[in-house]
Structure 1
Amino acid sequence: MQRRFVSLTRPQERAPAGRCSKTENRPGKRDRTREGLLVKVGLAEVNITPPLGNQIPGYGPKERLSTGVRDELYVKAMAIESADTSLAFIVIDIISLELDSCERIRKRVQEATGIPAGNVMVACTHTHTGAPRPEGEYALRYYPILEDKAADAAIIAYARREEASVGFGRGYEDTISFNRRFYMKDGTVQTNPGVLNPNIDRPEGPIDPEVLVMRIDNAQGEPIGVVSNYAVHTDCVGGTEYSSDYPAYISRTIKQLYGESVVSLFFQGACGNLNHIDVSGRIDAKLVPHRVRMGNRLGLEIAKVRDLTKTSADEVLLSTASRFITVSARALRAHEIEWAHHKLVELDGMSEESMTARQLMEKARAERRLQSQGKPLPTRAYEIQVSAIGDLAIVALPSEMFVEFGLEIKDKSPFAYTIINELSNGSGLGYVCTPQACDHGGYEPTGALFSEEAGGRFVQAAIDLLHERHAARCLHK
C-alpha cells in the first residue's frame, strides 16, 4: 500500500524564505554588537518523575497505575535574552496541562526572573506514559510540586544564561510518522484500522516530515543545547512504567554525541492524526522497540542538521505576541447522538473491570454526549502565541491539532523556519479536527470539545501573528 505525505522539498532544495523587503529609505546596517544585541541563552532540565502508584493518563478512564520507571520524566527549559527582551520556553513530559497550572507556572517565573508571564511558553510532550492529570489524592499532592519544578527549570535556565551563538536548520524524516486515519474500501474512514487490514484503501491525509533544529553553542563554540521539532504522537511505549517516550531517546543520542550537560528540548508538532503505526507491516517492534527506533532516527537526523548549521552571536531579535480566540464546543449531529445511544446499549451490563480501555473511553464519551443535549454549547478562549527568535518562529497552539493545520501555518509563514508547538499554554486535552474529518467520522471526532471552525480560526490567528512579528522584525533590520 502506498503512503501519502505532504509534498515538502528536502532541506537542500528548499527555496529561501522569510526575507525582509528592501526599501529606498531603509537606514544603513547598525553595529548590533555595540548595541548590545548579543544573545544570551541558558538551558536546564529538572526531574519530575512522580511517585509510583499514580494513574498514568492516555487511554481513557481505565485504571493504569504506575509500577516502575522506564525513563525518567523531565521538565526542560530555555531562557533566551537579547537587548531588553527575554523569552522562556518550558516543555513538560506530561500528556496535557490545564490553564490554572500554566498560569501559576508563568507567574512564578515572572516573580523570580522578571520575564513577563506573556513571554513564557509552556508546552507538553504529550507522552502517554507520563505524569498524572490533576485528579485523585496522589495527583493533587503532586501537582504543586510539578508546577514549582516546571517554573524552577525556567528560573535555573535564566540564571545559567551566557553569551551564545545560535543557528537554525531543517532536516527530513518520513519513515517514522504515519497518518492514522484511513479510507476503507467500503467508503468509511477508520482510525488505526489495524496492521495488514485488507480493507484499507488509502490514508485520509498527509504527514509532516520536516525536522526543525535550533543549534545553541556557548561563546567558545561548545554545544550547550539543541532544540528540535517534529510531528508524531508520543504514544509508542504503553504499559505501566513511566517514560517520556521517543524524546527520551532523542535526548540520549544528543548527550552521547555532544556531552551529558547538553540539553535536548523537543517541541511536539501538530500530530493529532499522526502516530507510529505502519499498517503495511514493514516495521517489527520486536526487533527494535518503536521508542528506540524513532528516537534514534530523529536524534541522528537532528545531529546531522545541527552539525551543518552555522551559528551567529548577533542579529538575534526577540519578540512575542498572543491572541485569544474564543470558540464553542461542536454541535453534535443526529448520527452522533444515535451512536451514543447505540454504544451505551452495546456496553450495557458489562462491568468496568471487564471493559477495554477503548470501551471505557467510548462509554464516557457517549454519556457526555447525551448529558449535553438541550444545553447551550460551552465556550472557552484559547491562547495562540507566536515567539520570534531571529529567522525562527515558534507557534504555540492549543490541544491536539490535526497535521493539516500545522502544514498550512508553515506554508503561509513569512519566517524561514516555523516550529509548530501544540498542547501549549494550559489548553488541556482534545482534538482540533478538520471539517473533513468531522464529516468522515473515526475516533478523533468522537470528542466534541472544539467546533468545526475552531481549527481554521486558530490557524488564521497564528498566521496574522506571524506576519505581525515578521513585520516588526523587518523594521529593526
Structure 2
Amino acid sequence: MKIGLAEVNVTPPLGMQIPGYGPKSRHATGVKDELFAKAMVIESGEAVLAFIVIDILSLELDSSDRIRNRVHAYTGIPAEQVMVSCTHTHTGPPRPLDEAALAYYPTLEEKSADAAILAYGKREEAKIGCGRGNEDSVAFNRRFFMKNGGLLTNPGVLNPNIDRPEGPIDPEVLVVRIDNAQGEPLGIVSNYAVHTDCVGGTEYSGDYPAFISRTIKQLYGESVVSLFFQGACGNINHIDVLGRHDPKIIPHRVRMGNILGREIAKVRDKTSSDSSEVVLSAASRFVSVSERALREHEVEWAHSTLAALRDVPDDELSGRQAMEKARAEQRLESIRQPLGSRDYEIQVAAIGDLAVVALPAEIFVEFGLEIKEKSPYPYTIINELSNGSGNGYVCTPEAYDRGGYEPTGTKFAEEAGGLFVGAALELLNELHGRSH
C-alpha cells in the first residue's frame, strides 16, 4: 500500500466577501489562519482513491467537477474515485457571486486539485490503523425546546426559558493513523461533528480544524498533514447555553482545536498502524430530490417579516434582520416558481475496515448517527458537504413541524434525509459484500 498527503495554501486576496452570515457585507481585512486544500491519495493493489478537503463554506457542483477532472487528467484516477469536501468554515473564501470571486475560483479549483496531484506524486509505502475516541464538551445540539412549548435555534446563553435540547450530539472522534514504512507519522485523518462557525469577524480563518492541525504539527512535526472530515453537524455547534466557557479568555477555535487535537493525538498513539495492505473500493449513486414546498404559515411569516422591515434602510439592518429579510424574499420568490429537482451524489469509499460516506449539504446529526449504527464497517466516517452539493440543511421530518432556523430553506424536500440515508446504507452494504 502506498499513501501520499499534501496541503496547498488557497487563501484568497483580502477584500473579498466572506460568506456564512447571510447578505451582510463582510469583506476580508486580514488573515487569522491561512486556508488550505488538503489531500490524501491511497493506492493498494490496482485501486487508487483520492480525498480532497478544502477550507471553504461550501462548493458548487461545477467547481467540484472541474477539480475531479483535473485530478483525473494529471493522475489517471477516475473522477468517481475522487471525493471533494468542505470543512464548512464560516471565515473562508467567497462564493462565486461577483467579478472578484469569479476571478479567484479558477485558482481555487486548480490548487485544490493540485493538492491531490501532489499527494499522488508523494506516494510511499505506508501503514494505517483506525481508532475512536470520545469528546462531548465542545459540541452541543443547537435546537432547544422552550418552556412555552416552542422551539428555537440558538436561544441564547443562560436563557431562563430553555427547557431541553431537541436532539443528541455525536461525540465520536474517529482517527486514522498514517505512518511510513519505518513507523514515522505521515498524516492523521480525523472526523468530528460540530459546526466550524466559532470565529466571526473579517479575518480569514480555518476555524478549529486549523488548531487541530497546529496541535498535530506541534506533536508530530511540521510535515505531518492533518486531514479533517466534517461530520453530520447541521444542528450541532459550539455554543454552550449554560455559559461554562468564556471565549474572551480562550477563543472557541483555540480551545476546541486544542481539546480535539489532544483527543485525536491520544487515539492515534493508542492505535497501531499494522495494516500495510487494505482492500480499496468506491461507489456512488445519484438520488433525485425535489425542492420543498413551503407551508402556509411559512409564507405568512415571509409577508409579515418584509412588512415589519419595509421602512428600515438596508444599511441600518442588524445581521439577524438582514438574514431574515433575505430569507423572506427568497421564500416569496420560490412560491412563484415551479418546484425544481436535482440529482445529488451519495458516495462511499472503503479502506479496509473504514468507510467514508460522502453526503451533500448540511446534514442533521440524527442521519449521521443512523448511518453509523447500521453500517457494516467497524469504522464509518460521515463527510458532509461533499462533491458539489452547495449549502443548505437536510432536516429531520420532525424539525419541519417544530420550526427553528434550519428548516427555513427550500432546497431539499422533507424526505431528502431518508433518501440519502437509504442510498448510503445500500452502497455500504454493496461494497462490504464485495470485499467480505
Give the length in aligned residue pairs.
436
Matches within 5 A, 1:87-166: 87-166=49-128
Mapped to 2, the partners of 1:297 and 1:370 lie a distance apart of 44
Residue among 310, 320, 335 paired with 2:272? 310
Partner of 1:283: 245
Query: What does the per-residue CA deviation read over 1:248-293, in whole Å, with 9 as the maximum and x for residues that have no partner?
Result: 0000000000000000000000000000000011111122110000
SS for the counterpart of 2:113 is: helix
Q: Secondary structure at the match of 1:277?
A: coil
1:352 to partner: Cα distance: 1.2
The correspondence of residues 288-367 of structure 1 with structure 2, limited to 5 A, is: 288-367=250-329
1:401 and 2:354 correspond: no
1:82-107: CA deviation from partner (whole Å, max 9, x where unpaired): 01000000000000000000000000
The Cα offsets for residues 334-390 of structure 1, whole Å up to 9 and x where unpaired, read as 100000011101111111111122211211111121122253211000000000000
**Residue 297 of structure 2 is aligned to residue 368 of structure 1:** no
Superposition deviation, residue 310 in structure 1: 1.0
Q: Secondary structure at the match of 1:140?
A: helix
- Partner residue, 1:440: 402
In 1, Cα distance between the equivalents of 2:402 and 2:226? 38
1:227, 1:417 → 2: CA distance? 13
Which residues of 2 match residues 200-349 of structure 1 at below 5 A? Answer: 200-349=162-311
Q: Which amino acid in the other structure matches residue 120 of structure 1? A: V
What amino acid is aligned across from residue 306 of structure 2 in structure 1? L
Q: Give the alignment partner of residue 419 of structure 1, picking from 373, 381, 393.
A: 381
| Partner Cα distance (1:101, 1:399) in 2 | 15
Distance 1:86 1:439 in 2: 44
In structure 1, C-alpha distance between the alignment counterparts of 2:215 and 2:276, rounded to whole Å: 29
Moved over 4 A (4+): none
Q: Secondary structure at the match of 1:306?
A: helix
Cα deviation digits, residues 310-330 of structure 1 (max 9, x gap):
112434110000000000111
CA–CA separation in structure 2 for the residues paired with 1:292 and 1:342: 41
Q: Which residue of 2 is the match for residue 17 of structure 1?
A: none
C-alpha contact (below 8 Å) 2:126/2:276 kept by paired residues? no
Q: Is 230-239 or 133-142 further displaced after alignment?
A: 133-142
For 1:94 and 1:192, the matched residues in 2 are separated by: 23
Which residue in the other structure is 1:177 paired with? 139
Q: Which residue of 1 aligns with 2:160?
A: 198
Structure 1 stretch displaced more, 346-355 or 161-170:
346-355
User: Secondary structure in 2 aligned to 1:395?
Assistant: strand
User: What TM-score, normalized to structure 2?
Assistant: 0.99
Partner in structure 1 of residue 391 of structure 2: 429
State how far apart, in whole Å, the 2-side matches of 1:267 and 1:97 are: 15
Q: Residue 165 of structure 2 aligns to which amino acid in structure 1?
A: P
- Cα distance between partner residues in 2 of 1:41 and 1:467: 25
Distance 2:290 2:325 in 1: 23
Cα shift readout 1:115-165 (whole Å, capped 9, x = no counterpart): 000000000000000011111121111000000000000000000000000
Unaligned runs of 5+ in 1: 1-38
The match for 2:27 among 61, 65, 73 is: 65
Choose from 34, 38, 41 the match for 1:79: 41
AA aligned to 1:357 is G
Q: What one-letter code is carried by the residue in structure 2 that aligns with 1:235? A: D
Percent identity, please.
72
Distance in 2, matches of 1:351 and 1:345, equals 13
| Paired residue secondary structure (1:91) | strand
- Secondary structure of the 1:394 match is strand
**Aligned equivalents of 1:162 and 1:360: distance in 2?**
51
Give, as a single letter, the amino acid of the residue that structure 2 aligns with 1:243: S
Query: Which amino acid is the alignment partner of residue 448 of structure 1?
Result: T
CA distance in 2, matches of 1:406, 1:294: 21
Partners of 1:374 and 1:247 lie apart in 2 by: 41
**AA matched with 2:154:** N
Structure 2: state its 5+ residue gaps.
Answer: none
* Matched position secondary structure for 1:183: strand
SS in 1 for 2:261: helix
| Alpha-carbon distance in structure 2 between the residues aligned to 1:471 and 1:201 | 45
Counterpart Cα distance in 2 of 1:64 and 1:443: 21
Deviations, residues 204-235 of structure 1 (Å, cap 9, x unaligned):
00000000000000011100000000000000
SS, match of residue 52 in structure 1:
coil
1:14 paired residue number: none
CA–CA distance in 2 between the matches of 1:109 and 1:285?
40
Distance 1:470 1:453 in 2: 26
Corresponding residue number in structure 2 for 1:9 = none
SS at 2:119 equivalent? helix
Let me know the Cα RMSD of the aligned residues.
0.7
Q: Report SS of the residue matched to 1:469.
A: helix
Matched, 1:379 2:332: no
